[in-house]
A = this chain, B = another copy of it.
């Protein structure tokens, strides 16, 4: 990826219902903060109040510009039903050039909006 082109990342969160996962996906697309979003059916294991929980959840994986991470995390928190949602960023090291161009256009917002 050349210096001028935006860098991309994968940002993931998890949530306990599909409608909530869809709400997050549509909010990120509407704000042009993600080029596309994938939703995976999962089971999550974690400790809560001393008890091991094993709950059906959905993992939401957004492809976004790295420079938009803070705005994207804020948008996820705004659309999320949890008080402290998982929001983690993994950076993309390389990608198909035509796809990255498409993703850059899909997340293009005028400078003031960044």
Residue of A8, A22, A40, A52 with most chain B CB atoms under a 10 A cut-off: A40
Chain A, interface size category, equals: 35 or more
Q: For the complex, is A96 an interface residue (Cβ under 8 Å from B)?
A: yes
Q: Are B8 and A29 in contact (CB under 8 A)?
A: no
Q: Are A39 and B35 in contact (CB under 8 A)?
A: no
Q: Are B69 and A94 in contact (CB under 8 A)?
A: yes
Report B-chain residues with C-beta under 8 Å of the C-beta of A95: 86-89
Q: For the complex, is A79 an interface residue (Cβ under 8 Å from B)?
A: no
Stoichiometry (number of copies): 3
Interface CB pairs A-B, < 8 A, 7: A36-B45, A38-B59, A39-B44, A46-B106, A66-B93, A84-B98, A84-B99
Residue of A76, A85, A96 with most chain B CB atoms under a 10 A cut-off: A96
Q: Are B47 and A29 in contact (CB under 8 A)?
A: yes
Report B-chain residues with C-beta under 8 Å of the C-beta of A36: 14, 44-46, 86
CA of A63 to CA of B42 in the docked complex: distance in angstroms?
Answer: 14
Q: Are B26 and A45 in contact (CB under 8 A)?
A: yes
CA of A94 to CA of B47 in the docked complex: distance in angstroms?
Answer: 23
Measured between C-beta atoms, what is the minimum distance from A5 to chain B in Å? 14
